[in-house]
Amino acid sequence: MGLLNDKIVLITGAASGIGKSIAEKSLEEGAFIAVVDQFYDGLSSAKDSFNKYDTEKIIFLKADVSHPKEVEKTIQKTVDHFGKLDIIVNNAGIGGEINPTGEMSNKGFEKTIQINLLGVFYGSKYAIKQFEKQKTGGVILNMASILGAVGFRNSAAYVAAKHGVVGLTKTTALEYADKKIRVNAIGPAFINTPLLDALDEANKQQLVALHPMGRLGEAMEVAELAVWLISEKASFITGSYYPIDGGYLSQ
């Protein structure tokens, strides 16, 4: 029996990287899933790679999480298709503009906040409305980062957004604990995903050196933690932030 048998799980940014691994692990643990992504080409690629699973248990939806109406419609489409929503994983995010704070463009800063923080807020807000309508409780898992706990040069927008995600997680958890809605966040360090594909090998090795374990994390390692946290195995856990970082934050 899987950890997520018959649970309905919506995952944003799920066409690649950590989100895709969470989707795959959720399926392996018995869930029905909504794979949500901003890009049609990503969804097409995901459809091909998900063919090895029971395709009756998967729907693919296009949505830009920085637009609240799109997030709301995506949750409604998931409920229309599967009959309910049990869990949302607010995973969609971007690296954003790399520049010192004084040189960062207003547009670049705003875009990162819109996707990485407001997108999490919209997902949480509309999932909560659905959970309250169902009167069955629910689970929200937010994708923060190690940079939700510390600073990082040339990444002011990303760091601000991820700190905001951690604060949003704790506050939402307090507000809805008595309604059986659990809310947690996880904080990956640098993970070997397509977000790092633009880096040359020298820059990747610089990132590797930041981790005491001497390597980058893998997306499925993050997925293992994520799926455990959204399962009933973590039934007494809410308002928490879990780094998964190869020792990064211990330095």
**Catalytic residue numbers?**
158
Report DSSP state, residue 140.
E
Q: Which two tokens stand for residue 124?
A: 């949480």
Instruction: Report the chain's C-alpha Rg in angstroms.
Output: 17
- The vertex-190 CA angle with 187 and 196, nearest 5°, equals 130
The alpha-helical segments, DSSP class H, found in the chain are 17-28, 40-49, 68-82, 106-113, 119-134, 156-176, 201-208, 219-230
Among candidates 122, 112, 202, 114, which has minimal Cα distance to 159? Answer: 112
Helix (H, G, I), strand (E, B) or coil at 155: strand
- The vertex-183 CA angle with 142 and 65, nearest 5°, equals 35
Please list the residues that pair with 181 across neighbouring strands: 138
Q: What is the DSSP string of 38-95?
A: S-HHHHHHHHHHGGGS-GGGEEEEE--TTSHHHHHHHHHHHHHHHS---EEEE-----
From CA 16, how far away is CA 119, in angstroms rounded? 17
